[in-house]
Amino acid sequence: MSDDTNLDNRLAQGRWESVHANDFALLDTPEQRIGVLKELLDNLKKGIGEAKGRPPAVTAEDAGTLAEGGRYSELKHCVDREGLLARLEQESNTPELSSSETHDFMHSVSAVWRRDLEPPLWFQLQTEGPELPEADQRKIIEEKKQGYLLAQRQTALEAKQERARKMLELAPRVWAAQERLREDEQAGTVLLGLEADQRLLITLLDKARASAPPQDPPEPEDTQDRQEIPELEVEKIDFNGSVSQLVYFWEMLYAVDRGFSKSQYERRWSLLAKHFTVKGRPLKASVLKSTASKIANNKTKKPRGHEGFTALVQLLDKLPEELEAFLSENQ
């Protein structure tokens, strides 16, 4: 893990402690803590999505401008923009060398003169005009030197003027691009902070889940108890017997060959609760399932008053065979 990531994680911990930690500590149950953390994570997910979807402010043209402006340190690291613009305006009209520039100029140009130009000039004077007194030769050398210095100074002033004009034109574009670059950098910093907050919340959520007591997975048929009530409910069939009798009868209709479809067997209790009441009272799939389990575990495996329902289902199962036999006999 990089130093930057470690710093982001420490900052995320600081934000958590200053904003949420005290209220979070007051929550009584793991379920409450899990709910709060999930809500915070959902909000963070939205923020991260928005941050990642933000288009960059810096354009390709800005990138080129910043690269060009990088050659001018005065533009790149300018503190007093108004002062710099005023100086560039003056230099673009009437350029002058500063004292430090004059010192550097004289040192550089004089060195070139002494090394490259003065020796061949002395040689020329001594070979072509040896009759000239040395004082006259020195005078000629000095005049040539002053002419060379003036020409080089003019070249330096023109270069400074051109540089000032270029910077004057470039400055507004460079500074505007720098502002957009700062926007992108700040957005990147915000995104890194959000991602660090997300990592911290995921860690806290894992701890909260680990501390929660284990729960049995919900049964498939119990989902009916949690479904939303439809806007228009179909009228239910009201059963005048007991819940145990209805459960027993319902199970038998799934057990016989010519009864209900086995494809709905896993949802039989939710279907029963959806379409029936017992003496006007609504039913719950979880209660129906529990009742069926009790019937299956008693000695007779049948509820009180089952006889009529048993005979009815047996009749239903045998009726097609008897009807077929009756039709065969009377053909």
Among positive and negative, which fits the CA dihedral 63, 68, 74, 80?
Answer: negative
Pairwise CA distance, residues 173 & 189, whole Å: 24
pLDDT of residue 80: 93
The answer to whether residue 8 sits within a structural domain is no
Pairwise CA distance, residues 194 & 184, whole Å: 15
Report the range out of 126-135, 173-182, 216-225, 238-247 with the highest average pLDDT: 173-182
What mean pLDDT is reported for the chain? Answer: 85
Pairwise CA distance, residues 256 & 239, whole Å: 21
Pairwise CA distance, residues 297 & 137, whole Å: 133
pLDDT band per the 50, 70, 90 thresholds, residue 212: confident
**Are 155 and 291 in the same domain?**
no
The answer to whether residue 302 sits within a structural domain is yes
Sheet bearing 281-282, strands edge to edge? 237-239, 276-278, 281-282
Q: What percent of the chain has pLDDT over 90?
A: 48
**Are 196 and 64 in the same domain?**
yes
Least Cα distance to 4 among 203, 196, 194, 181 occurs for 196
Domain boundary among the residues 211, 233, 265 is at 211
**Are 202 and 229 in the same domain?**
no
According to DSSP, the residues that pair with 278 across neighbouring strands are 239, 281
**Are 160 and 291 in the same domain?**
no
Range of the domain at 105: 60-211
